[in-house]
Amino acid sequence: MNQLQVHVKDMQQWQSSEDFARRLEDFKSLPALYRHALNELENKIDVVKTEWQVRDGYSPIEHVKSRIKEPKSILRKMERKGHTFTLDNMEQHIHDIAGMRIVCAFVKDIYRLVDHLCVREDLKVLEIKDYIAQPKPNGYQSLHIIVAIPLVLLEGTRWVKAEIQLRTLAMDFWASMEHILYYKFDKQLPPHVAEELKEAARAADELDQKMLRLRREILELSEGSRSADKQAEE
């Protein structure tokens, strides 16, 4: 927490050492709160994955990753957004302190999962940003949703926000490579590299669409085969 203390003092947003100590103690308690919320969300997604696997013999969820945002990253983001560092501001304006990434095999699976989350009664979907339908200028594709998870605490129920990013395997690979290159070039990609990345994003999208068509064709062939077998038995 030393890096956090130095950074906050440099910002000169807290007027007294007593105020600083109080707010720092409050800040220290937040990771546990968001970790509890993330654990709850992980459990819910795990149940969904298991249910679909048992019911349909197939789960749209390939794998899940989660993380709690580092304190220094939270402070940098608040600076960037122009917000004074208070716990209220942090909870109101920083929605990705708890973050989850869900990777699915097919684009259709992403929307299927989001539709399911939207009708659940044990969480609230607050915001949806669809970068699949409308990719970012650099080619980035993903679907982001902000959810609120209820935590039953000693003082009552508290709703804690988390961000979920949903991608296909192809989108996830592209995003990982883009991230590596972005920081390799100190966040300033040469124009030709940026253009090549856009081309790669389009290729990833074409691959997703092709795999979805192949899946649909396989399912249709499988259904036709079962119908033929049933007629033969009759």
Report the pLDDT value the prediction gives residue 229, as an integer from 0 to 100: 54
Exposed / middle / buried, residue 128 (Cβ in 10 Å: 0-12, 13-18, 19+): middle
Domain segments of the chain as ranges:
2-169
Which residues belong to the active site? 163
Q: Which of 95, 86, 106, 91 is nearest to 14 (CA)?
A: 86
Contact in structure between 172 and 150 (CB atoms under 8 Å): no
Which CATH number does 2-169 carry? 3.30.460.10
Q: What is the pLDDT of residues 124-171, one digit of tens each?
A: 999 999 999 999 999 999 999 999 999 998 889 999 999 999 999 999
Report the pLDDT value the prediction gives residue 147, as an integer from 0 to 100: 98
pTM reported for the whole predicted model: 0.80
Q: What is the pLDDT of residues 9-26, one digit of tens each?
A: 444 444 445 555 556 566
What is the widest separation between alpha-carbon atoms in the chain?
Answer: 85
* Cα–Cα distance for residue pair 156/27, rounded to 1 Å: 20
User: Nearest 10 degrees: CA dihedral of 49, 68, 168, 176?
Assistant: -150
What residues in the chain have per-residue pLDDT under 50?
1-16
Report the pLDDT value the prediction gives residue 3, as an integer from 0 to 100: 41
Residues 6 or more apart from 146 whose CB is under 8 A from it? 95, 125, 126, 127, 128, 161, 162, 163, 164
